[in-house]
Chains A and B, each alone.
Chain A
Amino acid sequence: MATVVLEQRRRVFRRPTAKTGWWSWMTSVDHKRIGIMYVATALAFFVIGGSEALVIRLQLATPNNTILSANAYNQFFTMHGLTMIFLVVMPLGVGLMNYLVPLMIGARDVAFPRLNAFSYWLFVLAGLFLYSSFALGGAPDGGWFGYAPLSTTLPSHGMTFYSVGLQLLGAASLAGAVNFIVTIINMRAPGMTLMRMPVFVWMTLVTAFLLLFAMPVIAVALFELMFSRVFGAVFFDPAKGGEPLLWQHLFWVFGHPEVYIMILPAMGIVSEVLPTFSRKPLFGYGAVVFSGIAIGFMGWGVWAHHMFAAGLGPVANSAFALSTMFIAVPTGVKIFNWIGTMWGGAIRFKTPMLFSIGFVAMFIIGGLSGVTHAVVPSDAQQTDTYYIVAHFHYVLFGGAIFGLFSGIYYWWPKAFGYTLSDALGKVHFWLMLIGFNLTFGPMHILGLEGMPRRIYTYPNGLGWNFWNFLETIGAFTIAASILVFFINTQRSRRIREEAGPDPWDARTLEWTTPSPPPEYNFEQVPLVESRDDWWNRKYQPGPSGEPVRVFAGGADSVGADMVAEGTKVQDEHGHGIHMPSPSYFPLVLAVGLPIMGFGVIYKLWWLVGIGVLIVLTGAYGWVLEPGTAEA
C-alpha cells in the first residue's frame, strides 16, 4: 500500500531532475551552487550600488552641482545604503558561508537544503522588489535607517517599499540563520568538536545567532512603519502621542548587531587567510573565538550610541558610552591576534593575503574613529557629519568588503577549479586601497569642518571644494579597481590555470576535496583529529618546531596524493551517496511573498490573495513532494 501512495505522490509532485542548464540552477538545493549564486547576485548588486555612489560623488564633485535633484539625491543615497548593506555585504557573507560551512565541518550539505534555496530566492526577489520602486513612482528616500516620523510622512510609495522589502529580506535572513545554527551544531563530522572548528565557522555561528535575535526586532519596527503608512496606525505620530524615539530604539537594537552581522564573517575570513599565508597556526585561537562570542553578546548593549544626539539624558549616555568603549576590547584582542599570527611567519604576499592585511589596517582606522564616537561630547559634534560617513565606510568597506574580497580570491580556485591571476589581483588590491583612502580619508576632515551628510549640494567658499573633488577621483579609482576584478575573472577563466585541490597549501577540510568539489563534497565523511586537521596530516613539527612534510615530494603532488588516497576508500556497503533532490517549491514560495508585498503597498487585496495562494501552494508542495526524485 505504501508504494501505491508513494507512486501517486510522485505523479503529482515530481521532483525536478535536471543536472545542467539554467533550470537546474533554479531548482538546485546544493549549498555550493546556492553559495555561488549568492555571491554572483551580490556582486551584481555591488555594481548597481556602486554606480549609485558614483552618481552621488559626481553630484558632490563641485559646489552647486545639478546632476541630481534634491529628491533624486535622497533616493540615491538611501538606495546606495540599503543596497550595500542588505544586498551586497550581507549576501556576500552568506554566500561564502553557504559554500564553505558544510565543507569546513565535513558535511555533505546544510541541515535544510530546500530552506537554503528559499532564503536565496527570497533575497533575490526582495532585492528586485526594492528596485522596482524606481519604476513605480520613486525609491525609498528616507535614509537607510528610515527615521520616523519622516519615514511615515514622505509622500511617494518609496518608504512603503522600504518597509515591505526589508521585511522580506529579513525573513530570508532569518531562515538562513536557523539553517546555519542547526547545520553547525548538528552536522559536524566525527571529531569536529566546537573548539576544532575553523574560525570562519565560529563567526558564522555567532552571526547566525545575531541574525536570529536581531531580525524579529526590525520586523516589528517595519511592521509598525507599514501599518502606519498603509493602514493609518499612529505609532510614530507625535500629534497623537506617538514617540519618534520608539522607532530609533527598535531600529538600533537591530541596527547595531547588524553592524557585527556584516563584519564578523569578514573577520572569520581573515582568520583563515592569515594563518595559511603566514604558514603558522592562528595565534590565540581560543581568544579569537571567545572575543567573537563576546562581540556577539556585547553588540546588544551599545545601540544607543547611535542616539547620543537624541537627548536620552546623561545616565543613559554615560552607560552606552562605557559599553561602547568596552566593545573595542574584544575587537582589539582580535587585531593583536592577527598581528601575532603574521609575526615571525613565512609570509607569502598573494592577493588574498594582501586583502586580509588591508582589512586589518583599514579596520584599525575605522575602529579608532569608532572609539571617538563613544565619547558623548565629541559624538554630539560628529553626528550627521561626513565624519560618520568616513567611519562606517572604513569599517564596512575597508573592513567588510576588503575581507570579503580576500575570501573571494582565496576560495575562487576551490569553487571553480582555477586560480584568479595574482598580478591582476594585486592591481585590483592597490587601486582599491588607494581609491578607498582617497574617497573616505578626506571625509574625516570634511566632517570635522562641519559638512553635513545627506545634503545634495553645497555652496562655494566653505573650503570643501578640494576635498570633495579628491573624493570623487577616489570613487572612480575604486570603480576602476572593480573593473580590474571583473576583467580578472574573465581572463583567468579563459587561461584557466588549474588550481588542484589545495593551491595555497592550506589548513582546513575544504582543501581535501577536489576543486570544484563533487556534489556530495566528501566521498567518505572525514574523521577529524585536531584543529587545522588537513595541515597536521601534511606536516609534523620538526626538531625546532618548524613544520616538516610528512611525505617527500613537491607540494602539489603531496596534496594530490593525499586527496586521492582520502577519496579512494569505497563505501563498504556499496551504497551510492543519497543527496537531496532539487525542488521547485522554494522558488514558488519565494515568488508568492513579494506579490503579497505589492498587494499591500497598493491595497490590491486580490493581489494579496494571489500571493497567499502561491505561498500556500509552495508550502504544501514542499511538505508533500517525495523525498527524492524518481530513480
Chain B
Amino acid sequence: MSASEQVITVGHEPPTATGLDNTKLAMWAFLGSECLFFGSLISTYLLYRNRVCAGCGPHPHQIYNIPYTSVSSFVLLMSSLTMVLALAAVQKGDQRAMRIWLLATAFLGMTFIGGQIFEFTDFYHRGLSLSASTFGSAFFVLTGFHGAHVTVGILMLLSLVAMSSLGRLGPQAARKVELIGLYWHFVDIVWIVIFTVVYLIPSK
C-alpha cells in the first residue's frame, strides 16, 4: 500500500477532473493558439509570394537555394529525434543521458538558426529586404518569427540542462522535459509547413 501511495504523493498535486495534467493541457491550448498565429503569417505570405513590383528586388525563385535550406531543414528535423531520446532518458531516470540529448537538440537548433542568419544576410545582399517588396516583408516576418520560436526553444532547452546539472529539476523532471519537447516538436512541424509552402511550391 505504502509504495503506490508514495508514488502518488511525490507530485503532491491533487488529481484533476479529467485526469489530464494541467500544464500539459495548457501547453496544448497554447500550441492551438500558435497554429492560428503561424496560419495568419503563412496566409500573408501566400498572398504576397508572387507580388514583386517592377524593380523591387528579386522574386522567390531567383533567390531561394533549395539544397541549402533542405540541409538546414534536415538538421532541424533531426533535433526532434534527439528531443525524443532526451525524454526517453529522463523517463528512465537517467538525467545524465538526458542532458547530453538536450544539448544535442539545442546544438542542432543553433545550427539551424546559424543557417537562417546566413541565409538572411545572403538574401539581403542580393536585394531582398523587409522594405524591398511585399514578398520581402512577408518572407522575413514569417521565417523570422519561426526563428524566434526556435531561439526561445533553445533557451528553454539550455535552461533545462543547467537546472538538471544543479539538481534543481525536482521530482517532475520528466514532465518538464515533455512540456518543452511538445513545444519543440510543434516548432519543427511548423517548419515542415513553412519549408513546403515557402520554398518548395514554385512561384512565378
Contact = CB atoms under 8 A, between A and B. Distances in A.
Interface of A: 1, 5, 9, 111-112, 174, 177-179, 181-182, 185-188, 192, 212-217, 219-221, 223-224, 227-228, 231-235, 237, 239-243, 246, 250, 253, 620, 623-624
A174 B22 contact: no
Contacts of B136: 234
A174 B33 CA distance: 8
B25 A246 contact: no
Contacts of A243: 47-48, 134
Interface in B24-76: 25-26, 29-30, 32-37, 40-41, 44, 47-48, 51-53, 56
A192 B130 CA distance: 53
Nearest to B24: A182
A6 B71 CA distance: 45
A308 to B, nearest CB: 21
A9 B137 CA distance: 46
Contacts of B166: 5
Interface string B134-161: 1011101100010000000000000100
A221 B39 CA distance: 12
A213 B134 contact: no
A9 B168 contact: yes
B22 A182 contact: yes
Contacts of A235: 44, 48, 134, 137-138
Contacts, number: 120
Interface of B: 16-18, 20, 22, 25-26, 29-30, 32-37, 40-41, 44, 47-48, 51-53, 56, 130-134, 136-138, 140-141, 145, 159, 163, 166-168
B29 A178 contact: yes
Given A227-B141, A246-B47, A624-B163, 9 more contacts: A181-B26, A182-B22, A187-B17, A192-B17, A212-B32, A220-B44, A228-B137, A237-B134, A241-B56
Contact of B22 (A186, A188, A216, A241): A186
B48 to A, nearest CB: 7
A235 B53 CA distance: 13
A185 B17 contact: yes
Contacts of A111: 22, 26
B131 A233 contact: yes
B141 A233 contact: yes
Nearest to A217: B40
8 contacts: A177-B33, A186-B18, A212-B32, A216-B35, A223-B145, A235-B48, A241-B48, A241-B133
A220 B37 contact: yes
A624 B22 contact: no
Nearest to B176: A623
A232 B25 contact: no
Contacts of A241: 48, 51-53, 56, 133-134
B16 A227 contact: no
Contacts of B141: 223-224, 227, 233
Among all A-B residue pairs, the 3 with the closest Cβ atoms: A216-B37, A220-B40, A232-B131
A174 B25 CA distance: 14
Please indicate which of the listed interface residues A1, A192, A212 has the most CB atoms of chain B within 10 Å of its own CB: A212
Contact of B130 (A178, A223, A231): A231
B16 A187 contact: yes
Nearest to A218: B40
B137 A234 contact: yes
Contacts of B30: 174, 178
A477 B28 CA distance: 48
Contact of A5 (B138, B140, B168): B168
A5 B167 contact: yes
Contacts of A620: 159
Contacts of A219: 37, 40
A213 B36 contact: yes
A235 B134 CA distance: 6
A181 to B, nearest CB: 5
A622 to B, nearest CB: 12
Given A186-B25, A212-B29, A233 B47 contact: no
Nearest to B34: A216
A234 B47 CA distance: 13
B33 A213 contact: yes
A174 B37 CA distance: 12
A250 B36 CA distance: 11
A1 B170 CA distance: 12
A182 B134 CA distance: 39
Given A213-B33, A241-B52, A624-B168, A224 B44 contact: yes
A242 B25 contact: no
B161 to A, nearest CB: 14
A5 B168 CA distance: 8
Contact of A250 (B16, B17, B20, B40): B40
A188 B16 CA distance: 8
B134 A242 contact: yes
A620 B18 CA distance: 30
Contacts of A215: 33
Contact of B26 (A5, A178, A216, A232): A178
A234 B36 contact: no
A213 B32 contact: yes
